[in-house]
Amino acid sequence: MNEKNIQTVALEELWKQNTDGHLPVLLEIFNPDIKWGDDELEQENMYLRVIDDSNPVVYKGKRYIPARFDFTPPEENGKTVGNASITLSAIDSRVVQMLRSIELQCEVTVMAMFAKKETESGSSTYMFYPLDHLKTKMNSATYSRTTAQLNLVFKDVLKLNVPRDRATKNKLPSVNPNA
């Protein structure tokens, strides 16, 4: 589900004139069929986590490996919500092989973040502030040697066309027309 509540702390950091932060996107793929070898890419079984950056990061104790990806958001026409896609590139061929081997439908979470480098006592860490996230399912994918295109579908409830109407005094007598 798409979430639009942005933390006040994140907004304060974004509105600063000279901030040294950036806006990475984190991608988490969950599937019970995902199995990693011993300490392979430092990923947990059932998860593939990547960040749209050139460096790996740890967020909430979970390691995100670097990759390059493009997110194509779903098309919305006021009546329906279409599908979206993510194209992962510059990924390890082991990741592509692992994704090809899974059979069950994957759950995909895309998280937009604001990341700011904090330096304390000579060591640097990143503080992450969530901006938005989207949770969906991957219904199909296509692969090349170092690229994966994931086709994402949303819950059927998002595709419903819900009729709407205006509340007027004639339709709803308790409506105050002067309010």
Taking only the tens place, the pLDDT of each residue in 39-51 is 667 888 899 999 9
pLDDT of residue 85: 85
Q: DSSP H helical segments within the chain, as ranges?
A: 8-15, 93-101
Selected residue with higher pLDDT from 9 and 49: 49
pLDDT of residue 55: 85
User: What tokens does 124 get?
Assistant: 């640097």
User: What tokens does 32 get?
Assistant: 């019970």
Burial degree of 90 (CB within 10 A; 0-12, 13-18, 19+): exposed
| Residue 69 predicted with pLDDT over 80 | yes
Q: Which residue spans within the chain are E strands per DSSP?
A: 21-22, 25-30, 47-52, 57-59, 62-72, 84-89, 106-120, 123-143, 147-153
pLDDT in tens, 72-121: 877 777 777 778 888 888 777 778 888 888 888 889 888 888 787 777 77
| Residue 21 predicted with pLDDT over 90 | no
pLDDT of residue 157: 46
Q: How confident is the model at residue 134 (pLDDT cuts 50, 70, 90)?
A: confident
Q: What is the dihedral of CA 88, 112, 153, 41, to 10 degrees?
A: 40
For the ranges 33-37, 105-109, 140-144, the maximum mean pLDDT occurs at 105-109
pLDDT of residue 160: 47
pTM more than 0.85: no
User: What tokens does 13 get?
Assistant: 């950091």
Selected residue with higher pLDDT from 9 and 77: 77
